[in-house]
């Protein structure tokens, strides 16, 4: 997939899907990076030969291999796609299938579907989401009291491929009214003052949003290649002048989906004895807001597991559950159903369910599995799964937002001589080196109410990232500064202290 996701329009890059549709295997990442960074053909050949020897690949048989290729809407995408096609076809017996312009999740879904031997066209993708969504909506109890089937959802398309492709779903899902803005057709620039990354990090309305006419309406924002999504709405400021943004990020999305799935899974567990042992868990990183983790554990009783930062870690852990949900705060995540559990639900005859409620719960979980993209995070599938959950529970976006209140947080960066000096454990929540830093962090945390803080080295630059949260914004800011000063003093900080 030729894309640079949420980055500026002049950037470009590549995302690679494994044969099962997942992201590239972690073991192959260094190899892919070495190839991408080589410009000399002889060096490229050497990189390949070294990798083959190291991994025991002595003979390659590819008489029927196929590589699917697609790109987003960036101007440089066409040229890079042609180059990728030439590279694929340089391998004897391997064909390149150029699909054209797609979202990143669509390509991952197509790879997964192709290797599972099921329909893998763009139309099949739309049809699967549509059929799952319609199934959920058709099972909504007391439809005459439904609050939101005709409620408008306003979508920020980030001036990218998501805006273009969303029309394919709009055409076949009548239960949702969508108003898509920032389509790129009116001079807007990809990811510039628009998109999920901008909304989530800056806490600002994207361009063409925040009007008085949008007040309280449900809004969603895609990123540049539509693999991330966040939700938001506008409300009047406390001083009654102006409009403020209320953000519902990946933590809120995860919590909503956990509520929705838990409700129906409990029905199954209580009525079908062989499903009583089905395990359900949610996966977060240390960046998840502490209020969300507390709600999941204490209010829902759901198992919550932390992993190191990075979608690859979250996806791997979530796949270990019969039903696993993972989301990063930035809106990237999905729901995974283990094959064995999915097969049991599919093959169990209606007569084997003791109650109609249990049978309905099984059907609803199967419908959810159709809506979600189990290969990778997908803005389209999350948009329609969230909408179906809200319709089913008869909630507005304000009801959803009220399930818990985020703890105020602050993130800072501290420049250091060498980020390798800092080492962490327990999914990046505790520091092991340099000595004394963790005890200093614990001392700062103890000074504030509901405090939590951690530090981790950047993966790309000599910077240590600081995260702090507390009961008030002032306390969170104070905690972050205090921790940053300790990082600067104990981890070879560069320049003036924070």
Name the residues annotated as catalytic: 5
According to the annotation, is 74 in a ligand binding site? no
Q: For residue 373, what are its two tokens?
A: 């993209």
CA 482, CA 461: separation in Å to the nearest integer? 22
According to the annotation, is 181 in a ligand binding site? no
Print burial letters for 15-41: b (CB count within 10 Å at least 16), e (below 16).
Answer: bebeeebbbeeeeeeebeebeeeeeee
Of 290, 380, 289, 300, nearest in space to 330 by CA: 289
Q: Which residues contact 75 (CB under 8 A, 6 or more apart)?
A: 9
- Residue 442, Cβ neighbours under 10 Å: how many? 13
According to the annotation, is 105 in a ligand binding site? no
According to the annotation, is 442 in a ligand binding site? no
CA 429, CA 308: separation in Å to the nearest integer? 9
| DSSP secondary structure code for residue 9 in this structure | T
Of 341, 231, 332, nearest in space to 281 by CA: 341
Q: In 119-228, at which residue ranges do the beta strands (DSSP E only) sit?
A: 152-156, 177-181, 218-222
152-156 β-sheet, strand order: 177-181, 152-156, 218-222, 229-236, 243-248
Q: Which residues contact 319 (CB under 8 A, 6 or more apart)?
A: 336, 338
For residues 81 and 67, the answer to whether their CB atoms sit within 8 Å is no
Print burial letters for 63-96: b (CB count within 10 Å at least 16), e (below 16).
Answer: eeeebbbbbbbbeebeebbeebbeebeeeeebeb
Task: Tell me the three state secondary structure of residue 466.
Answer: strand
CA 234, CA 367: separation in Å to the nearest integer? 31
Of 46, 75, 143, 43, nearest in space to 391 by CA: 143
According to the annotation, is 462 in a ligand binding site? no
The partner residues of 304 in beta bridges, in order of sequence, read 282
According to the annotation, is 329 in a ligand binding site? yes
Task: Tell me the three state secondary structure of residue 21.
Answer: coil
According to the annotation, is 458 in a ligand binding site? yes
Phi-psi region of 173 (alpha: psi -120 to 50; beta: other; left: phi over 0): beta
For residues 161 and 186, the answer to whether their CB atoms sit within 8 Å is no
According to the annotation, is 238 in a ligand binding site? no
- Residue 301, Cβ neighbours under 10 Å: how many? 9
According to the annotation, is 5 in a ligand binding site? yes
According to the annotation, is 227 in a ligand binding site? yes
According to the annotation, is 330 in a ligand binding site? yes
For residues 323 and 339, the answer to whether their CB atoms sit within 8 Å is no
The binding site consists of 5, 223, 225, 227, 328-330, 456-460, 465
The binding site for Mg(2+) consists of 5, 223, 225, 227
The binding site for substrate consists of 328-330, 456-460, 465
């Amino acid at each position: 997939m030729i894309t640079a996701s949420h980055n500026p329009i002049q950037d470009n890059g590549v995302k690679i899907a494994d044969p099962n549709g997942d992201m590239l295997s972690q073991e192959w990442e260094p190899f892919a990076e070495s190839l991408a960074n080589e410009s000399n053909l002889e060096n490229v050949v050497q990189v390949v030969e070294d990798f083959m020897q190291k991994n025991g690949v002595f003979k390659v048989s590819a008489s029927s291999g196929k590589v699917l290729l697609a790109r987003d809407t960036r101007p440089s995408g066409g040229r890079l796609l042609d180059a990728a096609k030439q590279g694929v076809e340089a391998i004897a017996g391997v064909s390149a299938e150029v699909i054209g312009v797609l979202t990143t999740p669509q390509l991952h879904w197509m790879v997964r579907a192709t290797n599972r031997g099921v329909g893998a066209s763009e139309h099949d993708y739309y049809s699967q989401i549509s059929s799952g969504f319609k199934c959920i909506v058709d099972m909504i109890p007391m439809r005459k009291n439904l609050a939101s089937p005709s409620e408008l959802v306003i979508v920020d398309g980030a001036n990218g491929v998501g805006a273009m492709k969303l029309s394919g779903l709009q055409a076949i899902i009548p239960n949702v009214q969508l108003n898509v803005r920032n389509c790129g057709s009116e001079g807007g620039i990809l990811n510039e003052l628009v998109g999920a990354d901008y909304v989530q990090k800056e806490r600002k309305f994207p361009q063409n949003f925040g009007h008085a006419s949008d007040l309280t309406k449900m809004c969603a924002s895609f990123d540049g290649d539509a693999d991330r999504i966040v939700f938001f709405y506008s409300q009047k400021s406390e001083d009654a002048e102006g409009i403020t943004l209320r953000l519902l990020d990946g933590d809120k999305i995860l919590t909503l989906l956990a509520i929705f799935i838990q409700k129906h899974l409990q029905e199954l567990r209580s009525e079908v004895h062989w499903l009583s042992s089905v395990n359900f868990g949610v996966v977060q990183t240390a960046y998840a807001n502490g209020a969300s983790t507390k709600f999941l554990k204490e209010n829902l009783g759901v198992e919550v597991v932390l992993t190191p930062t990075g979608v690859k870690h979250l996806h791997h852990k979530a796949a270990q559950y019969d039903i696993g949900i993972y989301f990063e705060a930035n809106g990237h995540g999905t729901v995974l159903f283990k094959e064995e559990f999915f097969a049991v639900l599919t093959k169990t005859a209606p007569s084997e369910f003791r109650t109609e409620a249990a049978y309905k719960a099984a059907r609803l979980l199967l419908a959810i599995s159709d809506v979600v993209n189990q290969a990778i995070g997908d803005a389209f599938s999350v948009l329609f799964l969230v909408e179906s959950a809200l319709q089913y529970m008869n909630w507005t976006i304000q009801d959803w937002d009220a399930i818990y209140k985020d703890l105020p947080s602050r993130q800072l960066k501290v420049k250091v001589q060498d980020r390798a000096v800092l080492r962490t454990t327990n999914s990046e929540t505790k520091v092991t080196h340099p000595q004394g830093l963790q005890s200093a962090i614990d001392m700062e945390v103890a000074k504030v109410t509901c405090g939590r803080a951690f530090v981790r080295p950047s993966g790309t630059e000599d910077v240590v990232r600081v995260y702090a949260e507390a009961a008030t914004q002032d306390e969170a800011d104070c905690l972050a500064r205090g921790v940053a000063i300790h990082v600067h003093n104990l981890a070879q900080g560069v320049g003036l202290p924070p």
